[in-house]
Homo-oligomer: A and B are copies of this chain.
């Protein structure tokens, strides 16, 4: 239904409005948090709370896979006890995830959906890299929507970040609140993005562009990244998160002697730019060493550049 859809000035803007609508200091004086069921999560959420400490997050389980790969999984026991202990205003998960390339499984998503419904907590799904556009998914995954899910999409990853167009599909109450926040913040979202998108949807062009151009392009980049990773790090103790979607590779150096922050500084001197991992663990209380052992790398760049970069990283951590 039309009244379930809201256009915003980009997905970043959607999350600013959603987080501060559903969490933080509430009208009755109480305070609510955004629950991140799995971290690392998208770094862009980090500073969006108008009040401090808006996030609480759950340390994930790590499942080791073949070829020095691994995958984060939601720890549902911890999740359930965290929900009980805190006043949670919304659950938020990105799928695929920037920075890790993780795509939580259909089973995980279903369980999250049930828990959210049972506790009457909206479940925000950040679908910026997901279906139907840009469809930067390299694994099988299905998307669901119900009245308790707030589905966020973006035009950025179609190559249109400059148009700042976010799309939110939510129940009418949330949709109406978002549209009012829009009014106060910016009067109206910009109309160029919807203008172009509407035509492309009507002409059935958008899905074709995704399946024929965007998805194959990034799938190829992801495949290459895995190959280069295996070639460069053959004999080194490093793990890569299974690259199931989005445009990044997420490396974990369990024996790293410096912090990822220090590694970032060292690499910058050599003109290699990575994002140190600890920034992506919003809302975690525990002193989990893992947070300082990971880095994010953009893997959608030129192959030779990526290989050179990984080689320099190998030299630096050795």
Closest to A20 in B: B50
A165-190 residues with Cβ-Cβ distance < 8 A to B are 184-190
Within the complex, what minimum Cβ distance (angstroms) separates A223 from chain B?
28
The distance in angstroms between the C-alpha atoms of A189 and B9, with both chains bound, is: 8
Which B residues touch A162, using CB under 8 A?
A: 188, 190-192, 195
Judge if A70 is at the interface, Cβ distance under 8 Å.
no
CB of A185 within 8 A of CB of B12, answer yes
Which B residues touch A186, using CB under 8 A?
A: 9-10, 12-13, 16, 164
Chain A 36-56 interface mask (CB, 8 Å, partner B; 1/0): 000000001001101000000
Judge if A226 is at the interface, Cβ distance under 8 Å.
no
The distance in angstroms between the C-alpha atoms of A184 and B54, with both chains bound, is: 14
Copies of this chain, tallied across the complex: 2
Judge if A161 is at the interface, Cβ distance under 8 Å.
yes
Contact A187 B10, CB 8 Å, known A192-B163, A192-B192: yes
Which B residues touch A164, using CB under 8 A?
A: 9, 164, 186-190
Which B residues touch A189, using CB under 8 A?
A: 164
Count residues of A near B (Cβ-Cβ below 8 Å). 24
CB of B13 within 8 A of CB of A185, answer yes
CB of B47 within 8 A of CB of A190, answer no
Closest to A47 in B: B184
Which B residues touch A190, using CB under 8 A?
A: 9-10, 162-164, 190, 192-193
CB of A12 within 8 A of CB of B163, answer no
The distance in angstroms between the C-alpha atoms of A9 and B164, with both chains bound, is: 9
Which B residues touch A48, using CB under 8 A?
A: 184
Query: Which of A47, A185, A191 is most buried by chain B, counting CB atoms within 10 A of its CB?
Result: A185
A209-263 residues with Cβ-Cβ distance < 8 A to B are none
Contact A161 B188, CB 8 Å, known A9-B9, A50-B50: yes
CB of A187 within 8 A of CB of B12, answer yes
Closest to A8 in B: B186
Which B residues touch A10, using CB under 8 A?
A: 186-187, 190
The distance in angstroms between the C-alpha atoms of A16 and B48, with both chains bound, is: 15
Which B residues touch A9, using CB under 8 A?
A: 9, 13, 164, 186, 190
The distance in angstroms between the C-alpha atoms of A48 and B189, with both chains bound, is: 16
Query: Which of A16, A50, A188 is most buried by chain B, counting CB atoms within 10 A of its CB?
Result: A188
Query: Which of A161, A163, A190, A193 is most buried by chain B, counting CB atoms within 10 A of its CB?
Result: A190
Within the complex, what minimum Cβ distance (angstroms) separates A288 from chain B?
26
Within the complex, what minimum Cβ distance (angstroms) separates A21 from chain B?
12
Query: Which of A44, A164, A189 is most buried by chain B, counting CB atoms within 10 A of its CB?
Result: A164
A-B residue pairs in contact (CB < 8 Å), sample of 14: A9-B9, A10-B186, A10-B190, A12-B184, A12-B185, A13-B186, A16-B184, A44-B187, A48-B184, A163-B191, A164-B187, A190-B192, A190-B193, A192-B192
Nearest first, the 8 closest Cβ-Cβ pairs linking A and B are: A162-B191, A164-B190, A12-B187, A13-B186, A47-B184, A9-B9, A192-B192, A190-B190
